[in-house]
């Protein structure tokens, strides 16, 4: 199937359910889909961006400077957060705290979670940030072909994920 606006193959098939007459189906190539999705930003994302700009009362220069701020753990920029509405890791709440606080107050009227929590603990933000850093370090070790270091990091990650299991010894693997 071809794009409705050009001769390229349609790789995005979008169905909009906003029309009272029924669903509107669009077949778009990647280029036209990007344009369509950028101009048709979803209301939650638009609300987040506008609430952030309004709450912080920031001019374009200040907002542009804020967009450059990046998390040292996962590398997500504040600009990426504003566009997607999602943070990259638990440490982002700490790193972007002063910038997120006004947004959270505006959207939720609170800055603390009230409600259900998972039954199993996901760990602290620091331990999760350490795990993310270890995974990144393990990937870098694999790229350098330093497989011994990668296996050490893998074992360290496993120990952090399952602290109840006893560490395996070489005698455990021999039969």
Q: What is the pLDDT along the chain (175 residues), one digit of tens a residue?
A: 788 888 888 887 777 766 567 777 888 887 887 777 666 544 544 555 555 455 445 455 666 777 788 888 888 888 888 777 788 888 888 888 888 887 777 777 777 777 777 666 666 767 777 888 899 999 999 999 999 999 999 999 888 877 555 555 555 555 4
pTM: 0.40
Which long-range contacts link 54-62 to residues 24+ away (Cβ below 8 Å)?
A: 54/106, 55/102, 55/103, 55/105, 55/106, 56/99, 56/102, 56/103
First to last CA, the chain: 59
In terms of DSSP H, where are the helices of the chain?
30-39, 43-56, 60-67, 78-84, 91-95, 97-108, 125-143, 147-161, 170-173
CA-CA distance, 156 to 161, in Å (whole number)?
Answer: 9
CB 11 within 8 A of CB 30: yes
The length of the chain in residues reads 175
- What is the sign of the dihedral through the CA atoms of 83, 85, 88 and 93? positive
The pairing of strands 12-16 and 24-28 is antiparallel
Q: Strand, helix or coil at 14?
A: strand
Q: For residue range 93-105, list pLDDT tens digits in order.
A: 888 888 888 777 7
Tokens 């952090």, residue located = 160
CA-CA distance, 95 to 99, in Å (whole number)?
Answer: 9
CB 67 within 8 A of CB 75: no
Residues 6+ apart with CB under 8 A from 38: none
Pair of tokens at residue 11: 């790789």
């Amino acid at each position: 199937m071809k794009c409705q606006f050009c001769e390229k193959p349609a790789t995005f098939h979008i169905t909009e359910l906003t029309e009272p007459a029924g669903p509107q189906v669009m077949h778009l190539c990647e280029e036209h889909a990007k344009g369509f999705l950028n101009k048709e930003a979803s209301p939650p994302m638009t609300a987040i961006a506008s609430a952030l700009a309004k709450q912080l009362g920031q001019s374009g220069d200040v907002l542009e400077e804020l967009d450059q701020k990046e998390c040292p753990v996962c590398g997500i920029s504040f600009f990426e957060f504003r566009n997607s509405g999602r943070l990259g890791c638990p440490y982002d709440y700490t790193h972007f705290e002063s910038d997120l606080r006004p947004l959270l107050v505006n959207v939720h009227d609170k800055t603390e979670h009230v409600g259900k929590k998972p039954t199993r603990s996901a760990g602290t933000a620091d331990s999760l940030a350490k795990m993310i850093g270890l995974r990144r370090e393990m990937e870098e070790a694999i790229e350098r072909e330093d497989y011994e270091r990668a296996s050490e990091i893998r074992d360290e990650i496993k120990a952090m994920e399952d602290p109840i299991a006893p560490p395996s010894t070489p005698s455990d693997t021999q039969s």
